[in-house]
Chain A
Amino acid sequence: MLRKFYALFVVSILIFGCKSGGEQNTGDDFKVPEAVVNEGVLEISEEVMQDIVQNIASPVEMAALVKSLDAGFSSKYLAPTENVDDLTTSYQQAFHLGIYAADLGYLNIYNKNNSVIEYITAIKTLADGIRVGQFFDFSTLKRLTQNSQNLDSLMYTSVHSFNQMDKYLRSDNRSNLSTAMVAGIWIEGLYLATQVAKASPHPQLSERIGEQKIIMSDLMLILGNYKSDKNFAKLFDAFNQLKAEFNNVTITIEKGEPEMIEEDGMLVIVQNDVSIVNITPEQLTSIIKKTEEIRNMLISI
């Protein structure tokens, strides 16, 4: 009886051990870099953090909005990738990973496959740096960029890779790096929106920028958790300056009941609660200016 248990145990350890080894295949050095593991007591629980952080910033949605407004593509909105090897701390790598994720979303939405390779290469380097490279399917992405018909697959693979990395970081007790990544995605998305608004103002874009006030509150709550780390303290202070620019933006809600309709056998829910954003041209100008200043400061090494 005991011998059977031994055998089962050894087999199961072997199977699991092989699987784990495969997933960890991201480089030769498996030492935990500094600031990778959460330190200190969190002000809000990990559970609440996970509740807040989902979809706080999407690498796709802001770019999709910009494209839907017929704004032309501009490579000058993208963050440069040439200094990626100089990003050596886990914080820098995670934050820039978020920045490049947003840029990759912008490139994908506009089907700019020629530039995608540069960004997926940078992302792969950073992902390996914080030991989540196993979730970034570089070879598939590289192959997909070679055919402009693969936009859907390219988009799915890249967004899914980021979701996997984010989930893994949080489950691996590294929510701080997940937060840095999300903060990078968010500020780059806001930078893109504000730059487009600067070049070609549009009411829908102004409204979307103004309503970032709501998202910023949640983001600040999360960032505040890690203020004891000097990198996060710097990020928190920078975002706090930006938050001040949103103080006078007002958002009101008109209440209404949701409607359920069936269209061609498909269920469609129309929300009748409506949020109305009041943002003046002066407020918008200040937000554009401050976003540019902060984003450029944060991406400089």
Chain B
Amino acid sequence: MKKFLKLIYLSIFLISTEAFAQDNVELVAQCAASAGDVTYLKDFVVKLDAGVPGGNPPSAKFSMVLSKSTQYRFSICTAPDSDGEAILQLFDMNVLQGSTYISATGKEFPFFDFKCQKTGVYHVFISFKEGKPGEAVGILSFVKKL
């Protein structure tokens, strides 16, 4: 009986993973289109569980190379059925460069542009407000050469 339950859980998990992957393709396309008149470069698909009360919100990390004299756009799109609202933050080493949510003012932006002046490895972190569970897609786009 336990074996059957395990198999059922596994198959349900696999089906939901497949469904999520299919939804992602559409969400990535929509999010890339909503970024405006820019060239899509990368997508960051995120699905996170709820955080532990009192702890830091869970986040997903993505590392990438950005090039000097280039304007990039970082967009975030929360999935329609997501509990949490997604935030995208860009770090150079441990220095915050930009965020789609400014906690000091409470302002939110669907994207921000980053005028890169230093070629190197940067890190994108995607998390959900108040550590809620959620699904989202981040997009990196090329805007122009500076």
Contacts and interface: CB of A to CB of B under 8 A. Distances in A.
A118 to B, nearest CB: 22
B45 to A, nearest CB: 9
Contact of A55 (B69, B102, B140): B140
Interface stretch (B77-85, B108-116, B127-135): B108-116
A9 B7 contact: yes
A267 B144 contact: no
B144 A2 contact: no
A77 interface: no
Given A2-B1, A16-B14, A258 B119 contact: no
B67 interface: yes
Interface stretch (A59-67, A80-88, A126-134, A288-296): A59-67
Interface string B11-33: 11011001000000000110010
B65 A274 contact: no
Contacts of B63: 51-52, 54
Interface residues of A, number: 49
A253 interface: yes
Contact of B144 (A52, A68, A156, A266): A68
B50 interface: no
Interface string A230-267: 00000000000000000000010100001010000011
Given A64-B39, A155-B39, A269 B11 contact: no
A57 B18 CA distance: 28
Interface in A10-40: 12-13, 15-16, 19
22 contacts: A2-B4, A5-B5, A9-B4, A9-B7, A12-B11, A12-B15, A19-B18, A54-B42, A54-B64, A61-B41, A218-B65, A258-B96, A266-B111, A266-B113, A268-B114, A269-B97, A269-B113, A269-B114, A269-B115, A271-B97, A271-B114, A274-B68
Nearest to A215: B65
Given A269-B98, A269-B115, A8 B68 contact: no
Contact of B11 (A16, A56, A159, A215): A16
A60 B7 contact: no
Interface string B41-77: 1110000000000000000011111111110000000
Contacts of A258: 95-98
Given A55-B140, A268-B115, A207 B68 contact: yes
Contacts of A152: 37, 39
A218 B66 CA distance: 13
A225 interface: no
Interface bin, chain B: 35 or more
B4 A5 contact: yes
B117 A163 contact: no
A68 B145 contact: yes
Contacts of B116: 271
A117 to B, nearest CB: 21
Nearest to B8: A9
Contacts of B65: 54-57, 214-215, 218
B50 to A, nearest CB: 23
A160 B113 contact: no
The 9 closest A-B pairs by CB, nearest first: A55-B64, A269-B98, A12-B11, A267-B112, A68-B145, A275-B118, A211-B119, A54-B64, A274-B117
A173 interface: no
A214 B28 contact: no
A90 interface: no
A274 B118 contact: yes
Contacts of B29: 156, 160
